[in-house]
Amino acid sequence: MKKYIDAHCHLFDEKLPDNIGAIVNATRPSEWGGVIAQANKNINVWAAIGVHPWFVADLVAGWDEKLQDLLIQNPEIMVGEIGLDKHKPDMDLQIDVFSRQLEIAAELGRGVHVHCVGAWDKMFAVLKKSKSKQPPFMLFHRFSGNAGDVARLCADYNAYFSFMNARNVVADVASNRILIETDSNNPTGIVRVAEQFAAICPNCDCYENTIRMLKNG
């Protein structure tokens, strides 16, 4: 039976078929416990917890300590979904929260799932400041950058890129750096995405790419 992994999704207590795995991302503290519990009870689920840029204004003092404590208690968990979004307010706060989460991920050796919409200059500025201490890998989900962004990220960081649609794949992304995702709560939607990729990118083994990222960065 063919196997699939949804590299970035938001499933909550959904039952997965045996041949489908999922990296489930939380977007705010209220979701962290549920995502962790889901991963603990399902061998095919990996968890990432973090604060999405859409929700930074809702944070209360001590959020970063709680995040750090949960990551220490759960050594297999990644950090995500984190990042920057120019279409949302509080960019300065977004940058502060994103920077702090990158710092925690690097300190604890956790990979990160990054959301970046229209804020690549600011993204690179944050990454440059933290370049001396990096997470083991960074997955840029639903990647919307250009070939130049790919070159910069691959030159300086252990970067992977996930897509929902094969037509959106940037030509300069190496086939061993491409993952597939649904960014949804549909437990079987990744099958359709994989079939589309197989037709357009036949040399890309997205399942093996995801396994390698999870094991080794």
pTM, whole model, 2 decimals? 0.95
Residues near 132 by beta carbon (within 8 Å), at least 6 away in sequence: none
Please report the pLDDT score of residue 35 as a whole number: 97
Domain count, the chain: 1
CA dihedral 180, 186, 189, 191 (to 10 degrees): 80
Of 14-18, 80-84, 140-144, give the lowest mean pLDDT range: 14-18
Q: Give the structural domain span for 8.
A: 4-216
Please report the pLDDT score of residue 202 as a whole number: 86
Single-letter residue type at 54: W
- pLDDT 10s digits, 130-174: 877 899 999 999 999 998 999 999 999 999 999 988 777 877 899
DSSP state of 77: -
CATH of the domain at 177: 3.20.20.140
